[in-house]
Amino acid sequence: MLAAIAESDNGRLVAMASRSAERARQMLEPHPGVRIVDSYDALLADPEVDAVYNPLPNSLHREWTVRALEAGKHVLCEKPIGLNAAEAEEMAAAAERAGRHLMEAFMYRFHPAMREFVEGVRDPIHVQATFGFTAKHDGDIRLQPNLGGGALLDVGCYTVSVSRWILGEPVEVAARGRFEQDVDVSIASLLTFPGATTSSVWASLESPEEQALKVVTRAGVLTRVKPFSAYRDPHDPYRLMVESFGDSVLHDRPVAIPLSESIANMRVLDRIAEAARP
18-68 pLDDT tens trace: 999 999 999 999 999 999 999 999 999 999 999 999 999 999 999 999 999
- The strands making up 51-54's β-sheet, listed across from edge to edge, are 51-54, 74-78, 102-105
Neighbours of 62 (CB within 10 A): 22
- Per-residue model confidence (pLDDT) at position 278: 80
Which residues are known to be catalytic? 79
Burial of 118 (0-12, 13-18, 19+ CB in 10 A): middle
Q: Is the pLDDT of residue 234 over 90?
A: no
Per-residue pLDDT at 65: 98
Q: Confirm whether 2-107+235-257 and 112-230 share one CATH topology.
A: no
- Rounded distance between C-alpha atoms, residue 130 and residue 89, angstroms: 27
* Residue scoring higher pLDDT (102 or 230): 102
Over residues 226-250, the mean pLDDT reads 91
The third-level CATH classification (topology) of the domain covering 112-230 is Dihydrodipicolinate Reductase; domain 2 (3.30.360)
The predicted-structure confidence for 204-224, as pLDDT tens digits, reads as follows 999 999 999 999 999 999 999
Q: Measured at the alpha carbon of residue 80, what is the angle toward residues 274 and 10, in degrees to the nearest 5? A: 165
pLDDT surpassing 70 at residue 193:
yes
Question: How far apart (Å, rounded) are the C-alpha atoms in residues 237 and 228?
Answer: 10
The span from the CA of 50 to the CA of 69, in Å, is 10
DSSP one-letter string for the chain? -HHHHHH-SS----EEE-S-HHHHHHHTTTSTT-EEES-HHHHHT-TT--EEEE-S-GGGHHHHHHHHHHTT-EEEEESSSSSSHHHHHHHHHHHHHHT--EEEE-GGGG-HHHHHHHHT--SEEEEEEEEEEE--STT-GGG-GGGT-SHIIIIIHHHHHHHHHHH---SEEEEEEEEETTEEEEEEEEEE-GGG-EEEEEEESEEEEEEEEEEEESS-EEEEESTTS---SS--HHHHHHHHHHHHHHHT---SS-HHHHHHHHHHHHHHHHHH--
Q: Which tens digits make up the pLDDT trace of 111-147?
A: 999 999 999 999 999 999 999 999 988 789 999 999 9
Q: What is the mean pLDDT of residues 154-175?
A: 98
229 neighbors 144 (Cβ within 8 angstroms): no
- Identify the pLDDT of residue 232: 65
- State whether the Cα torsion 151-24-110-51 is positive or negative: positive
Query: What is d(CA 38, CA 22) in angstroms, rounded to the nearest whole number?
Result: 11
Supply angle C-alpha 64, 69, 17, rounded to 5.
45
Say if CB 61 and CB 54 are below 8 A apart: yes
Percent of the chain clearing pLDDT 90 (strictly above): 95
> In this structure, which CATH number among 3.40.50.150, 3.30.930.10, 3.40.50.300, 3.40.50.720 belongs to the domain 2-107+235-257?
3.40.50.720
- Rounded mean pLDDT of the chain? 96
What confidence category does residue 152 fall into, taking pLDDT thresholds of 50, 70 and 90?
very high
- Tens digits of residue pLDDT in 72-119: 999 999 999 999 999 999 999 999 999 999 999 999 999 999 999 999
Domain boundaries along the sequence of the chain: 2-107+235-257, 112-230
